[in-house]
Chain A
Amino acid sequence: MVKKLNIGIVGFGCYIPKFRIRTEDIAVANNQNVDLIKGALLINEKTVPNKDEDSISIAVEACKNALLRAKIASSRIKAIYMGSESHPYAVKASSAIVGEVLGVGNDFTAADVEFACKAGTAAIQMIAGQVEAEMIDYGLAIGSDTSQGAPGDALEYSAAAGGAAFIIGKNKVGKEESAANILYTLSRTTDTPDFWRRNNQQYPTHMGRFTGEEAYFKHIVSTSQAMLNETGLKIEDFDHVIFHQPNGKFPLKAAKVLGVTNEQLKYGIVVHDIGNTYSGSSLLGLVNVLENALPNQKILLTSYGSGSGSDCFVIETTNLITEKQKIGKNLLNYMQNKQYVNYNQYRQMVKMIH
């Protein structure tokens, strides 16, 4: 049986860059059929990082929003794990830089995490374990990426930039401070060659259609079902459901298999106007849900990382959610404050990444 946890999300926040490129502008530049691409991916536009943005700067801005909502001094954070497939350094911890910027001090542990698009949820599990075991009072888990696709590749339409951060603490009776409690988490992991990027390669390699059935769907569906079996919960018990969203179509198809309604997906799918932010992808969905949920609502979150694995979480909002929703910048603010760039500007902006 999956163990019931006694921890919660004390602070949460996100960040996406200001710039966007429309799907049609990428399609025209690559001489591809706009309607075909849009129909296949269900992505209207994606975020583009400015030249001075990377996964660390994105993480920092997300963490600032999470800290405001947590209402704790940053020095109380004792662990930082940052998940990304675009850490700016091959060797030098992004998580240590984030700690310095936030003024956490020096009495904390840190490490960078990589597992394709599920590195951020893996970071949450690592923090969850230490908080549950009372090794630390508060920990910070981050998923942040500036992902890239080669010009003309299918990934170029989806690979986007964004991040989310979560401060997790132990639930204490009479000292409630969580916006949402993390009740359960479990994972499934396999060795699946669907998508990878070798050292020193700028762009990833993927196996096209193989990334669907045997990779994304198999892991998302079986891990979600394992959670339902282990907890005895039914899919209709959840008010909000979030899946990893590499494009607009995959999470809708996974939802159909699992019997998830459009109403349950209402706030959890954010890919259509942002793109796939990799380690930030399902976590931006979670932030959007937390920014819109009512108290005492149940959330099911299942991430997916190529290579492959899924992490699943059952989360339940508390009465404090309403108050925390009023603090900091939310995803909707960032989505509305946008500026379009053309294809040439876009290529200039992303050429400096990695």
Chain B
Amino acid sequence: MHRQSPILRWRKFPERYRLEGNRCNRCGIVYFPKKELCECSCKEFSSFQLSGKGKILTYTEIKSSPEEFSEMTPYCVGIIELAEGPKITGQITDATVDELKVGDDVEQVFRKFLAVGDSGVIHYGVKFKKIE
């Protein structure tokens, strides 16, 4: 239930909807998700818009998912190294597992994650798609 809370998701819309991260004002490292303390020990950050382009580092197919995602199965999940540096876990859509390989170029797309029952909120966010 935790991940279905509309309020918890709402707090993260800039990250979830458009990959907004932040960047250290001193050394320039880009973080996603946003950090409050840089590895250079600086605490001053500016928000930073990631391009959403990256490469697949590794991936897998989810056949049996948490119940709320069951209608979407099977689906692919991967670790994506974004062009700006951060590595993030995300769904890879519009492809089956045999159509993916490590090193594939991907870009972000905005998709539906799940609709909670027949009357609950619809969760959206960034997924990744192979650049073809």
Contact = CB atoms under 8 A, between A and B. Distances in A.
Interface in B74-100: 93-94
A207 B127 CA distance: 40
Interface in A61-98: 61, 88-89, 97
A294 interface: no
Interface residues of A, number: 20
B93 A101 contact: no
A100 B93 contact: no
Given A50-B94, A337-B132, A102 B18 contact: yes
B48 interface: no
A100 B112 contact: no
A206 B98 CA distance: 42
A97 B109 contact: no
B122 A89 contact: yes
Q: How many of chain B's residues touch chain A, expressed as a range? A: 20 to 34
DSSP class of A's interface residues: helix, strand, loop or mixed?
loop
B42 interface: no
B18 A103 contact: yes
A53 interface: yes
Contact of A52 (B14, B17, B112): B112
A68 to B, nearest CB: 12
A54 interface: yes
A122 B72 CA distance: 34
Contacts of A218: none
A17 B21 CA distance: 28
A52 B69 CA distance: 11
B59 interface: no
Given A101-B18, A102-B18, A54 B112 contact: yes
B18 A352 contact: no
Interface in A21-70: 50-54, 56-57, 60-61
Interface of B: 13-14, 17-18, 20, 49, 71-72, 93-94, 109-113, 115, 122, 124, 127, 132
17 contacts: A18-B94, A51-B71, A51-B112, A52-B93, A52-B111, A52-B112, A52-B127, A53-B111, A54-B112, A57-B110, A57-B124, A88-B122, A100-B17, A101-B17, A101-B18, A103-B14, A352-B115
Interface of A: 18-19, 50-54, 56-57, 60-61, 88-89, 97, 100-103, 337, 352
